[in-house]
Amino acid sequence: MNDVIIIGKGPAGISAALYTIRANLKTLVIGLNDSTLYKAGEIENYYGFPQPISGKQLLENGEKQALRLGAEILEEEVIGIEKEDVFVVKTVKGNYRALSVLIATGQKTADVKIKNINKFEGKGISYCTTCDGFFFRGRKVGVLGYKDFALHEARELIPITNDITIFTNGQTTEFSADSSELAGKFEFNEKPISAFEGGDYLEKVVFQDSSEYPIDGIFIAYGSASTINFALKMGILTKNRAIVVNENQETNIEGLFAAGDCTGVFKQISVAVGQGAVAGRRITEYVRDKKRNM
């Protein structure tokens, strides 16, 4: 059992880990190599570097620093978080348990832009199978995505309906070996999509070749699971698609914290690192209290 699982190995996640590890908390960091910082060629506004440093170099330095102090870092995609007696973080490869969780998953810009996607949100288009799957009992549904997360969401729909199509929107599927067996269970449509159409509610998918596919509901699971997916599934309070936290980086769910770009703050390394530090300190207090009362 971990004291804390940190989801994300960007500046916020690694900064928090530095504090929890040095406070002797059993800390597991799970992240991918797709921090937004990879895109930053030269950083000139972060403290302590007389010469510009690339985002990639800064990320590598941070990870090495955490590893030197004893962090366990896994490169896996998180597809869900659940709260039972403790937190269970689900990845493509397995489930990991912890007394507390820090979400430091950044804030990716929208991965998919399709005409009318916003218009039908809540009217056939959903970002959460757990929240909205029930409304589509026995109906014709689709999942928009091409990675493991899309497969995971499609699997969540199996008890609800047997008419499930995965729309990849022209992308080639990228399923890990661990998930590829599951792929055989669903219909696939790989055509590029031009629009979602309907009246008050979603009725069909229209493809770039002008063909159409009637549909009652589409669940968006494009790319990796994102901050907003976790928030919706767990009932975490959000505002403008960012997680709402207090001054201690606590969310509305006890034991669940958030830091960095995913909280919708000024998107800068210094802010992410600062929030990570505050979260690390508060998580340490939280876990120590929890263990005293166990």
> Would you tell me which residues interact with ligand FAD (CB under 6 A)?
7-13, 30-32, 34-37, 39-40, 43, 45-46, 77-78, 104-106, 224-226, 260-261, 267-270, 272
Instruction: Supply the minimum distance, in Å, between the C-beta of residue 46 and ligand FAD.
Output: 6
CB nearer ligand FAD, residue 91 or residue 165: 91
Taking every pair of Cα atoms in the chain, the longest distance, rounded to a whole number of angstroms, is: 63
CB nearer ligand FAD, residue 35 or residue 169: 35
Instruction: Supply the minimum distance, in Å, between the C-beta of residue 280 and ligand FAD.
Output: 13
Are residues 106 and 36 in contact, defined by beta-carbon separation less than 8 angstroms? yes
The count of other CB atoms within 10 Å of the CB of residue 81 is: 23
The token pair that represents 288 in the structure block: 């120590």
Instruction: Supply the minimum distance, in Å, between the C-beta of residue 60 and ligand FAD.
Output: 12
Instruction: Tell me the chain's radius of gyration from C-alpha atoms.
Output: 20
CB nearer ligand FAD, residue 136 or residue 230: 230
Instruction: Supply the minimum distance, in Å, between the C-beta of residue 186 and ligand FAD.
Output: 21
The full DSSP string for 62-105 is HHHHHHHHT-EEE---EEEEEESSSEEEEESS-EEEEEEEEE--
CB nearer ligand FAD, residue 161 or residue 268: 268
Beta-bridge partner residues of 72: 28
- Residues 6 or more apart whose CB falls under 8 angstroms from that of 226 comprise 105, 108, 111
Instruction: Supply the minimum distance, in Å, between the C-beta of residue 42 and ligand FAD.
Output: 7
Instruction: Supply the minimum distance, in Å, between the C-beta of residue 76 and ligand FAD.
Output: 7
- Residues 6 or more apart whose CB falls under 8 angstroms from that of 276 comprise 11, 12, 13, 14, 15, 16, 17, 18, 19, 104, 259, 260
Distance CA 142, CA 164 (A): 5
CB nearer ligand FAD, residue 47 or residue 200: 47
CB nearer ligand FAD, residue 66 or residue 205: 66
CB nearer ligand FAD, residue 177 or residue 294: 177
Distance CA 140, CA 280 (A): 45
Instruction: Supply the minimum distance, in Å, between the C-beta of residue 117 and ligand FAD.
Output: 20
The residue count of the chain comes to 294
Distance CA 260, CA 239 (A): 15
